[in-house]
């Protein structure tokens, strides 16, 4: 689209000439012939003349309806607009200013702050991400064997982030192991690794010493029962429970997903994100932000939009709809039968559960119940009690309530609209709390409501 950019100096030219926007074909209207010649040397079309003289615009316009962007000092804005209107009364005008001059006809304005937000801020953020990516690559460059650790039962965000980090480092699966101390249990996550061909290894704690460098994604050293020395890198979006022991760290609790952080790294480092990796990262963001409806930031949305055009959506549908074990329906039936809605909180204790992600999955489900602003779903997985909490987002932060209710018993915390607690059964009993399934549900409800009421007061 042919358009006119009117500016006395080279401000607009420097701002827009390298944007690579193929849809625009600007004609630069400047005052100095030397600047016009310089623009011509760089392949641009330019005219020089007095900006408040109709003569230069008679040469510039072809149809008289080309849009015009005006960036001149406020004292001359009205005269420049009048000169343009004398030649092209119907041309759309945009003035680069917070407001158009009072004595000029009504025109659209483009506030400098909007340009800063649209161009300068992303450029600075990309520069920061590029520097971070370079430090990470340099730190791991000489290591023969790298271990990229995830939580014990890694979720899509962790799996995608680990794969993205290995890609950023330019390593093969033999040179950078994606590992977990536990196992992948949730059907969607197993389908993800199978369909996208992601290699995840179960690592023994004693084997950690065999690696030259250790990175952690979507988790932190304090989240593990196993004692870990200082690691080399932590990239995570969860709040710090205790100070992170890492030589390099990038922890952003405001972000909805760690996959967003790794997407920024890859894009800033100009690493090609292939279809399978794009699919994994897109699913990681979708899973942790509940399709951008929970805790998503502008950064998450930008990463989501970029990845959406590169992902395999047929593969994504196969991942999101895996076979559901029949036993999971029995667990759900127990939760439905024992549910209790108290003060806007839907409680459900599931009893014995095969894998922890099922607790989180049903916490999402129970939040859909009419009248529920919170859902608190608990279950017993082997020798641990897992409590998953969700809320509608405009009430008290879930992480704060869960921490107050359960931190004295085990690990507890999370974000504004989602949180979890994990308590070993032996610690639960040591605190004098009942062990029967019905009594466990009652105790969880009592502790949670007490913490919630305390915050309200």
- The CATH code of the domain that includes 263 is 3.90.1640.10
Residue 115 is assigned to a structural domain of this protein: no
- Where is pLDDT greater, at 359 or 321? 359
Last residue of one domain, picked from the residues 83, 110, 137: 110
Could you tell me the CA-to-CA distances from 404 to 52, 219, 239, 449, 450 in Å, in that order? 67, 21, 15, 11, 9
Q: How many domains does the chain have?
A: 3
Beta bridge partners of 216: 149, 234
The radius of gyration of the chain from alpha carbons, rounded to an integer in Å, stands at 29
Residues 156 and 179 in one domain: yes
Q: Kindly state whether residue 410 falls inside one of the protein's structural domains.
A: yes
Domain of 371: which CATH number? 3.10.310.30
On whether both 389 and 440 belong to a single domain, the answer is yes
pLDDT at 20: 47
User: Residue 235 phi/psi, 5° resolution?
Assistant: -120, 120
Minimum mean pLDDT among 235-244, 374-383, 432-441: which range?
A: 235-244
The domain boundary, picked from 110, 132, 150, lies at 110
* Residue 399 covered by a domain: yes
Cβ neighbours for 422, distance < 8 A, ≥ 6 positions apart = 356, 384, 385, 386, 387, 410, 411, 412
pLDDT band at 9 (very low <50, low <70, confident <90, very high): confident
How confident is the model over 150-177, as a mean pLDDT? 96
- Range of 399's domain? 326-456
Answer yes or no: is 118 within a domain: no
Range scoring the smallest mean pLDDT among 15-24, 157-166, 404-413: 15-24
287 and 342 share one domain: no
Q: Mean of the per-residue pLDDT values for the chain?
A: 90
Specify the pLDDT at position 144: 96
Task: Count CA atoms closer than 13 A to 213's CA, side-chain side.
Answer: 22
CATH code of 69's domain: 3.40.50.720
**Spatial strand order in the sheet of 108-110:** 45-48, 25-30, 2-7, 68-71, 93-96, 108-110
**Ordered DSSP codes for 152-179:** SS--HHHHHHHHHHHHHHT--TTTEEEE
Q: Which residues contact 250 (CB under 8 A, 6 or more apart)?
A: 132, 234, 235, 236, 261
Let me know whether 316 and 330 are in one domain. Answer: no
Q: How many whole angstroms separate alpha carbon 194 and alpha carbon 97?
A: 54
- Do residue 133 and residue 221 come from a single domain? yes
Query: Cβ contacts of residue 18 below 8 Å, gap of 6+?
Result: none
Residues 332 and 315 occupy one common structural domain: no
Paired sense of beta strands 384-391 and 374-381, if any: antiparallel
pTM, two decimal places:
0.63
Distance CA 263, CA 89 (A): 47
Q: Distance (Å, rounded) from C-alpha 394 to C-alpha 2?
A: 47
- Phi then psi for 170, rounded to 5 degrees? 70, 35
- Based on the domain organization, do 205 and 57 belong to the same domain? no
Strands (E), 320-373: 340-342, 345-352
Q: In this structure, are residues 311 and 275 in contact, taking their beta carbons and an 8 Å threshold?
A: yes
Nearest Cα residue to 217 out of 271, 261, 280: 261
Average pLDDT over residues 441-450: 96
> Are 296 and 366 in the same domain?
no
Banded pLDDT at 457 (limits 50, 70, 90): very low
Give a yes or no: residue 308 inside a domain: yes
Residues 257 and 292 occupy one common structural domain: yes
pLDDT at 354: 85
Range 283-301 average pLDDT: 90
Domain boundary at 81, 110, 139, which?
Answer: 110
Lowest mean pLDDT among 114-118, 179-183, 249-253, 352-356: 114-118
Q: Is residue 41 part of a domain?
A: yes
Does 129 share its domain with 277? yes
In 10 A of CB 250, how many CB atoms? 21
Strands (E), 133-287: 146-149, 176-180, 201-202, 213-217, 231-236, 246-251
Residues 313 and 331 both lie in one domain? no
Tell whether 182 is covered by a domain.
yes
**Same domain assignment for residues 190 and 291:** yes
- What would the pLDDT profile of 14-40 be if each residue is shown by its tens digit? 777 555 445 778 999 999 999 999 999
């Amino acid at each position: 689209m042919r358009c006119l950019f009117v500016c006395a100096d080279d401000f607009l030219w420097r701002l827009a000439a390298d944007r690579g926007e193929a849809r625009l074909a600007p004609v630069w209207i400047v005052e100095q012939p030397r600047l016009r010649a310089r623009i011509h040397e760089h392949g641009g079309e330019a005219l020089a003349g007095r900006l408040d003289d109709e003569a230069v615009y008679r040469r510039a316009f072809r149809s008289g309806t080309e849009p015009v962007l005006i960036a001149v000092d406020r004292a001359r804005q009205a005269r420049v607009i009048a000169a343009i209107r004398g030649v092209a009364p119907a041309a759309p005008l945009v003035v680069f200013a917070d407001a158009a001059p009072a004595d000029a006809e009504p025109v659209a304005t483009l506030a400098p702050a909007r340009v800063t937000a649209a161009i300068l801020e992303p450029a600075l953020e990309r520069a920061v991400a590029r520097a971070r990516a370079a430090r990470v690559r340099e730190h791991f460059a000489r290591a023969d064997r790298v271990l990229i650790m995830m939580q014990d039962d890694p979720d899509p965000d962790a799996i995608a982030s680990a794969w993205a980090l290995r890609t950023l480092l330019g390593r093969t699966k033999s040179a950078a192991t994606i590992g977990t101390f536990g196992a992948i249990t949730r059907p969607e996550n197993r389908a993800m690794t199978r369909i996208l061909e992601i290699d995840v290894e179960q690592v023994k704690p004693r084997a950690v010493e065999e690696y030259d460098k250790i990175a952690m994604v979507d988790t932190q050293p304090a989240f593990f029962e196993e004692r870990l020395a200082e690691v080399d890198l932590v990239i995570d979006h969860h709040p710090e429970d205790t100070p992170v022991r890492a030589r390099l760290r990038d922890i952003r609790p405001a972000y909805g997903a760690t996959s967003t952080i790794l997407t920024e790294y890859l894009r800033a480092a100009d690493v090609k994100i292939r279809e399978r990796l794009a699919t994994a990262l897109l699913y990681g963001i979708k899973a942790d932000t509940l399709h951008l409806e929970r805790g998503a930031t502008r950064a998450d949305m930008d990463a989501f939009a970029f990845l959406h055009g590169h992902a395999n959506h047929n593969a994504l549908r196969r991942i999101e709809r895996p076979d559901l074990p029949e036993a999971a329906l029995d667990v759900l039936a127990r939760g439905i039968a024992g549910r209790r809605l108290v003060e806007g909180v839907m409680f459900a204790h599931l009893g014995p559960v095969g894998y922890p992600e099922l607790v989180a999955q049903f916490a999402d489900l129970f939040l859909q119940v009419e009248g529920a602003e919170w859902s608190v779903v608990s279950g017993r997985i082997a020798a641990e009690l897992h409590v998953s909490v969700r809320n509608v987002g405009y009430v008290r932060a879930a992480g704060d309530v869960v921490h107050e209710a359960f931190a004295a018993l085990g690990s507890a915390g999370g974000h504004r609209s989602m949180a979890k607690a994990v308590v070993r059964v032996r610690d639960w009993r040591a605190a004098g709390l009942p062990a029967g399934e019905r009594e466990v549900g009652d105790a969880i409800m009592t502790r949670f409501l007490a913490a919630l009421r305390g915050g309200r007061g």
